[in-house]
Amino acid sequence: MPFARSWLGLVAASIVGLAASPAWGQDSDETALEDQWVIGNLVFLAYHEVGHLLLDQMAQADQRNNRLLAEQSADDIATWLISPEPGEEIESSEAVAAIGGWLEMAEAGNDASVAHLPDVEIYPDAVTRASRIACLLLGSDDSEPNAFAPLEMVAALRFAVADCRETYLALDESMVELFGDSEDIGDNPVARVRVQHDPVGPALVDARAFLIESRVLQDLRDDLVEYIGLPVNVVLRGAACGRDSPGFIYNSSRQEIVACYEEVDWYLFGEPEDGATGAEQDPAAIDGLGARPRRIPPRQPPSPPNPRRQ
C-alpha cells in the first residue's frame, strides 16, 4: 500500500517547492511537513467527533442503532467541514493529510493483529475511509481540470469515480439542511464550547504539549463558535484515554469531545513500545463514540529461534 507514502511525497515536493526561502533548512522543512501532516490528521479526527456531536445534539440521531452508518456520516461531515475552498492550497489541506493518515493506518493494521480489534466491524475499513474522503473532495469540484485530480487513484480504490460528484452533492444538500443559513453568526455566538488539557504522566507529555501548541482544540473551539453557529454545548478535552483508546471520542452524556493523547502520540511517534504509555482509562472512553476501532495492539516481538534439539 504505497499511497500513504506517495501522498506524503507529493505534499513534500510541493512544500519544498514553495519554500525557496533560505531561512528554511532541510531539517525544518521536514519537521514542518511532518507537523502539518500530524495536525491535519488530528483536525480530521476532531471534526469526525464534531460530526458525532452534530448528529447527536442537532439532528438527534440514534447513532448506536447503526454504528457503521454513524461512523461514515461523521467522516462525511468532517470532510465537508474541512474540505479546501476553491482556490485554496490542496496539498497542505487537512482532508488530504487525513487520506494519508487512513492509508498509513491501513498499512499499520495490515497484519494478523487487526483481526483481534474487538469493534472493527462498526467502522468502515481504513482504506474505504481514505477512498471516501478522496471521492468527496473530487466530487466537490466541478471545474475542469478537477483540482483534486491527483486523488482519483485513491477514490477509485473503493468508489466509482464517475459517481463522486453525485455523492458529494447529496452530502452537500444534507449538510446545508443541517446547518441552515449560518451566516452572520460571528457577532452573536450560540455555541458553548470550553477547552481543557488534562495533565498527564511523562510517557505522553510530548503528545500533550504538541496538542496544546498546535492549537487543534483551541482552533476547533473558535470554528464552532464563529463559523458553525449552532447551539452546541461541548467541552473539548485533551486527556489520556488508555492504550486501547479509539482515537478521539465523543461522549454524549458528558457532552465532551476527548482528544486522546495516545492518538497524538501515535501520529507523532508511531506504535508505542510495550509499556511506553500508561494504562489510564478515561471515563469518556467507556461509552463514547470513537474515531476508529480500538488500538491496534503492538506487534509481538518475533519469538526467538527454537532450534530442534537432538
Q: ∠ at Cα 76 (291, 180), nearest 5°?
A: 120
Instruction: Name the one range near Zn ion by CB under 5 A: 68-76, 134-142, 184-192, 264-272.
Output: 68-76
The CA distance from 161 to 156, in Å, is 6
Backbone angles phi, psi at 137, to 5 degrees: -65, -45
Q: How far is the CB of 71 from Zn ion (least distance, A)?
A: 5
Q: At what angle do helices 67-82 and 126-140 cross, to 10 degrees?
A: 40
Q: How far is the CB of 288 from Zn ion (least distance, A)?
A: 9
- HSE-CB of 196 using CA atoms within 13 angstroms: 9
Site string for Zn ion, 116-155 (x = CB under 5 A): ----------------------------------------
Nearer to Zn ion, 74 or 193 (CB): 74
Written as one string, the DSSP assignment of 23-52 is: T--HHHHHHHHHHHHHHHHHHHHHHHHHHH
Task: Note whether 74 binds Zn ion by CB under 5 A.
Answer: yes
Nearer to Zn ion, 84 or 293 (CB): 293
Nearer to Zn ion, 74 or 126 (CB): 74
- Locate 94 and state its grid cell: 487537512
The CA distance from 161 to 152, in Å, is 7
- Locate 299 and state its grid cell: 506487534
Which distant-in-sequence residues (6+ apart) come within 8 Å of 165 by Cβ?
138, 139, 142
Nearer to Zn ion, 68 or 149 (CB): 68
Nearer to Zn ion, 99 or 138 (CB): 99
Q: How far is the CB of 249 from Zn ion (least distance, A)?
A: 8
Instruction: Name the one range near Zn ion by CB under 5 A: 67-75, 102-110, 148-156, 188-196.
Output: 67-75
Q: How far is the CB of 291 from Zn ion (least distance, A)?
A: 5
Nearer to Zn ion, 289 or 296 (CB): 289
Q: At what angle do helices 3-18 and 26-57 cross, to 10 degrees?
A: 120
Asked whether the beta carbons of 296 and 274 are under 8 A apart, the reply is: no
Nearer to Zn ion, 74 or 203 (CB): 74
Task: Note whether 258 binds Zn ion by CB under 5 A.
Answer: no
Q: How far is the CB of 289 from Zn ion (least distance, A)?
A: 5
Instruction: Name the one range near Zn ion by CB under 5 A: 70-78, 101-109, 160-168, 254-262.
Output: 70-78
Q: How far is the CB of 304 from Zn ion (least distance, A)?
A: 40
Task: Note whether 55 binds Zn ion by CB under 5 A.
Answer: no
The CA distance from 131 to 120, in Å, is 18
Q: How far is the CB of 139 from Zn ion (least distance, A)?
A: 22
H or E segment to which residue 153 belongs: helix 152-155
Q: How far is the CB of 290 from Zn ion (least distance, A)?
A: 5
Q: How far is the CB of 250 from Zn ion (least distance, A)?
A: 7
Site for Zn ion in 268-307 (CB under 5 A): 289, 291
The CA distance from 229 to 138, in Å, is 27
Nearer to Zn ion, 15 or 289 (CB): 289
Long-range contact set of residues 33-38: C-beta below 8 Å, sequence gap at least 24:
33/8, 35/214, 36/11, 36/92, 36/97, 37/8, 37/11, 37/97, 37/100, 37/101, 37/267, 38/210, 38/214, 38/264, 38/267, 38/268
**Which residues here bind Zn ion, judged by CB under 5 A?**
71, 74, 289, 291
